[in-house]
């Protein structure tokens, strides 16, 4: 059930049914929703689950709906999953029993399947090669067919409505004498994006899909190893960053050492999600050899060259656009300042806001600094506009605080196509730039002017390698063929309507 915000048309969900009693976002931001964070740890001297917990802590920005850890002491795999933030999902009493020197962890935002405990990861499954647990970041676009095949061939009963459980069962039943052969079978049969961590009784693995859409990196820690979605997790754990995994690469770590194999069938195309550099990844992470913070500053500088604005002050929408705003200001020679203060603790809550609080919308999240912005011609830098539901409210908040003019600059190209690789964006009908000209968007958001970064400019900033990145949500050029309108709840629909 949902209600419509009269001011901007944003939908607010009323918590009913299976979602009741689960923490809900207090406000629904107009950003692509992060995907998931994964971590795998081999800690020969210690309790790997504890290290995985702190690794997940550093990856919390990638998913806040549920968290889980699976560990092995060489004899059996133990697992704990729960809803909520990492700190809500784990207490000392839930972490302590996860014994062993190996562990994997996962923090989830749902891109396939709804937010409920049965969809929390890692998944623990049993197949012909014994038990394994798997945590997955990404989206399989042929999950429905794979699941039907696994059900009919092996008689598996799926307990969740996610594509990650499909990947877990596929790997657990893949033919082959070695993990290298079994992973190769999965690479041949799975279409889509996946960076996965796997826990078997005797080993951990990090696996990246053949296009390398989602990040996954390797670090060295105190005689052991860590694999994580982003390098910021390695930094927080005191691990040494070694490198990003290659597309189609599997790193397997067992008590004998570390092994790496790359699937021979991979094609040369690489397609790292460029949105990781724009918005998802933490600015202190390294992706594809680039420090995200520096890349965002460079995007801001390029935006200033392409879309200059006359103003007195540049501000960024905190926190994700801050680096780009600084880059813009430096390039164009206009002073930069904070202009909005973000309440960092607005997140998920069990308490439903009343209508008056709903009407406040973004005001619950951002508070302007009138002494800084009053009477000024503002250049406001944001990282993206998806549906265009939040931006008008930010513009009106800034005007109420005294801004004389508002020139909106967006550090990404217009989003015109949905994502099929693990990012919850919106349907094409909902994307404001898919259905409106830039001038129409400018009017809808109430800005004095609006300018976006170009696709060419973006790709030049991130390395100019046209084929090295996925930029499909801007260009419609998907790195693999997709069915344009996919439904993230497809595996929850009755079987006869899943095609
Ligand atoms: S479509 Fe956009 S969000 Fe999705 S993987 Fe490609 S660049 Fe990233």
Tens place of pLDDT for every residue, the chain, 499 residues? 333 333 333 333 333 333 444 555 554 556 665 579 999 999 999 899 999 999 999 999 998 889 999 999 999 999 999 998 999 999 999 999 999 999 999 998 765 555 667 788 899 999 999 999 999 998 898 999 999 999 998 888 888 888 889 999 999 999 999 999 999 999 999 999 999 999 999 999 999 999 999 999 999 999 999 999 999 999 999 999 999 999 999 999 999 999 999 999 998 889 999 999 999 999 999 997 889 999 999 999 999 999 999 999 999 999 889 999 999 999 999 999 999 998 877 665 556 666 666 666 677 789 999 999 999 999 999 999 999 988 999 999 999 999 999 999 999 999 999 998 888 777 899 999 999 999 999 999 999 999 999 999 999 999 865 569 999 999 999 998 876 545 555 555 555 554 4
C-beta of residue 52 within 8 angstroms of C-beta of residue 105 = yes
Ligand 1 centroid–CA 272 distance in Å is 8
Q: Which CATH number does 286-475 carry?
A: 3.40.50.2020
C-beta of residue 424 within 8 angstroms of C-beta of residue 111 = yes
Ligand 1 centroid–CA 227 distance in Å is 22
Rounded Cα distance between 464 and 472, Å, is 16
Placement of tokens 């944001």 in the chain: 382
36: annotated active-site residue: yes
Q: Which atom of ligand 1 is nearest to the CA of 471?
A: 7
| Tokens representing residue 460 in the block | 């030049």
Residue among 275, 281, 471, 483 whose CB has most ligand 1 atoms within 8 A, to mutate: 275
As annotated, the residues of the chain forming the CATH 3.40.50.2020 domain(s) are 286-475
User: From 3.40.50.2300, 3.10.110.10, 3.60.20.10, 3.10.290.10, which CATH number describes the 35-263 domain?
Assistant: 3.60.20.10
For residue 206, what is the DSSP state?
E
Rounded Cα distance between 277 and 292, Å, is 6
Ligand 1 centroid–CA 470 distance in Å is 6
Ligand 1 centroid–CA 480 distance in Å is 12
DSSP run (H or E) holding 432? helix 432-435
Contacts of 456 (CB under 8 A, 6+ apart): none
C-beta of residue 198 within 8 angstroms of C-beta of residue 123 = no
Buried b (16+ CB within 10 A) or exposed e, 134-164: bbbbbbbbebbebbeebeeeeebebebbbbb
Q: Which atom of ligand 1 is nearest to the CA of 273?
A: 8
| Tokens representing residue 224 in the block | 């052991």
Longest dimension (CA), the chain: 71
As annotated, the residues of the chain forming the CATH 3.60.20.10 domain(s) are 35-263
DSSP run (H or E) holding 338? none
pLDDT attached to residue 492: 54
Contacts of 17 (CB under 8 A, 6+ apart): none
Q: Which atom of ligand 1 is nearest to the CA of 472?
A: 1
Q: Is 490 buried (19+), middle (13-18) or exposed (0-12) by CB count in 10 A?
A: middle
Query: 104 pairs with which residues across the strands?
Result: 40, 70
DSSP letters, 273-323, are: EHHIIIIIS-TTSEETTEEHHHHHHHHHHHHHHHS----SEEEE-TTTTHH
pLDDT attached to residue 309: 98
Q: Tell whether the torsion through CA atoms of 106, 226, 274 and 394 is positive or negative.
A: positive
pLDDT attached to residue 288: 79
pTM assigned to the model: 0.88
Buried b (16+ CB within 10 A) or exposed e, 31-49: bbbbbbbbbbbbbeeebbb
Catalytic residue among 8, 36, 419, 473: 36
Residues with CB under 6 A from ligand 1: 32, 213, 273-275, 419, 421, 423, 470-473
């Amino acid at each position: 059930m949902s209600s419509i915000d009269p001011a901007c048309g944003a939908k607010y969900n009323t918590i009913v049914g299976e979602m009741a009693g689960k923490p809900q976002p207090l406000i629904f931001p107009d950003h692509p929703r992060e995907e998931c964070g994964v971590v795998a740890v081999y800690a020969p001297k210690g309790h790997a689950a504890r290290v995985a917990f702190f690794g997940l802590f550093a990856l919390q920005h990638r998913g806040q709906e549920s968290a889980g850890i699976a560990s092995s002491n060489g004899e059996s795999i133990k697992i704990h999953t729960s809803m909520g933030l990492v700190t809500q999902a784990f207490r000392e009493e839930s972490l302590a029993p996860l014994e062993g020197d190996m562990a994997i962890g996962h923090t989830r935002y749902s891109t396939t399947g709804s937010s409920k405990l049965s969809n929390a990861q890692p998944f623990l499954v049993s197949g012909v090669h014994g038990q394994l647990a798997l945590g997955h970041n990404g989206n399989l676009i042929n999950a429905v067919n794979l699941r039907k095949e696994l059900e009919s061939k092996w008689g598996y009963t799926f307990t969740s409505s996610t594509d990650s459980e499909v990947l877990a069962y596929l790997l657990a039943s893949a033919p082959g004498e070695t993990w290298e052969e079994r992973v190769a079978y999965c690479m041949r049969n799975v279409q889509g994006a996946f960076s996965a961590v796997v826990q078997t009784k005797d080993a951990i693995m990090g696996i990246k899909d053949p296009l390398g859409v989602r990040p996954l990196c390797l670090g060295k820690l105190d005689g052991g190893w860590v694999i994580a979605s982003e390098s910021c997790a390695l930094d927080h754990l005191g691990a040494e960053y070694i490198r990003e995994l290659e597309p189609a690469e599997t790193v397997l770590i067992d008590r004998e050492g570390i092994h790496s194999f790359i699937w021979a069938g991979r094609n040369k195309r690489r397609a790292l999600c460029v949105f990781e550099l724009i918005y998802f990844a933490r600015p202190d992470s390294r992706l594809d050899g680039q420090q995200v913070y520096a890349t965002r500053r460079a995007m801001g500088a390029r935006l200033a060259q392409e879309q200059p604005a006359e103003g007195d002050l540049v501000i960024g929408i905190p926190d994700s656009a801050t680096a780009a705003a600084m880059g813009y200001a430096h390039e164009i020679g206009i002073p930069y300042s904070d202009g909005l203060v973000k309440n960092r603790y607005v997140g998920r809550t069990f308490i439903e806001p009343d209508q008056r609080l709903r009407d406040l919308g973004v005001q619950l999240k951002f508070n302007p600094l009138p002494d800084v912005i009053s009477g000024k011609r503002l250049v406001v830098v944001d990282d993206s506009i998806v549906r265009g539901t939040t931006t008008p409210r930010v513009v009106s908040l800034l005007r109420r605080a005294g801004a004389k003019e508002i020139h909106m600059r967006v550090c990404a190209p217009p989003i015109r196509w949905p994502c099929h690789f693990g990012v919850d964006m919106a349907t094409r009908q909902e994307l404001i730039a898919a259905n409106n000209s830039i001038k129409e968007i400018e009017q809808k958001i109430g800005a004095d002017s609006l300018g976006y970064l170009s696709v060419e400019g973006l790709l030049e900033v991130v390395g100019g390698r046209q084929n090295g990145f996925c930029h499909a949500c801007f260009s419609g050029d998907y790195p693999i063929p997709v069915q344009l309108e996919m439904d993230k709840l497809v595996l929850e629909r009755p079987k006869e309507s899943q095609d």
